Amino acid sequence: MNLNAENIRRDIVVIGGSAGALSTVLAIVAGMPRDLPALVSVVIHRRANSEASHLHEIVARRSPLRVVEPVTDESSRLGTVYIAPADRHLMLENGHVRLSRSAQEHRFRPAIDPLFVSASQVHGHRVVGVLLSGGGSDGVLGLTAIKAAGGLCLVQDPAEAPVKTMPLNALQKDQVDAFVTSAELTAALPRLVRGETVALTPRPRPLRSDFCS
């Protein structure tokens, strides 16, 4: 199957993950060349007191792109990876990244839905949403919004995700364009950013029952 046959530049990359997502996030950012004109935003579920988790340093060490964990609202720039800080939702506005202590969603702050929904509202079909390993249902509503606005939705292959619930919850809905391995994601995202078509080997969509005894 072909992803992005329309050759739209999907340069607004929003990534959400929870338990088990960090290694995939690191692989994705490591695969983005220094001159990639993408606005990348990442929400990984973290505790309110996790400032000392060094998430920013861990990602920055692997990323050719500039990595920013905002402490306040700021102008957004292409060629940058924005990491949601502890205890704040990260949202995209026109030309800005915005932080908010608005209510927890899915019992998390930062949560994935506020990032995905805000990205879809501002950037429409330029958005590619990526939902990775984790428990719960955060991100499912966000992917629905991205899809409805003409964006592209990718979900980590549950067979590969250390925690499968979140990818499986997303795949139950019809708004997902493809489920992909970490390696496929890493190769595909820079090409989608540049508006190229990505060919994927078709395989049957995994079902929840495949992973339950």
Partner 1 sequence: MHTLPEDLTRNSGEHLSGLICPDCGGNLVVALIGDAHLHFRCRVGHSYALLELLAAKEERLENALWAAVYHLEELSALVNDVLPRVEHEPSLHEAFLRRRDLAADLSKAVRHLIAADQPLGRADPRTRPEPEGAP
What is the contact surface with partner 1 in residues (CB under 8 A)? 18-23, 44-46, 50, 53, 55, 102-107, 111, 113, 135-138, 140-141, 144, 162-165, 168-169, 172-174, 211-213
Residue 157 among the catalytic residues = no
Cα 167 from Cα 138, distance rounded (Å): 10
- Tell me how far, at minimum, the Cβ of 196 lies from partner 1, in Å: 30
Element (H, E) at 3: strand 2-3
- Which one of 11, 63, 120, 138 is the catalytic residue? 138
- Which one of 41, 45, 106, 120 is the catalytic residue? 45
Residue closer to partner 1, measured from CB, 50 or 181 = 50
Residue closer to partner 1, measured from CB, 80 or 137 = 137
Q: How far apart are the first and last CA of the chain?
A: 30
Pairing of strands 12-17, 39-44: parallel
Residue ranges of alpha helices (H) inside 47-138 are 55-62, 112-123
- Tell me how far, at minimum, the Cβ of 138 lies from partner 1, in Å: 8
107 SS3 class: coil
Residue closer to partner 1, measured from CB, 35 or 212 = 212
Tell me the residue type at 27.
A
Which residues form the catalytic set? 18, 45, 138
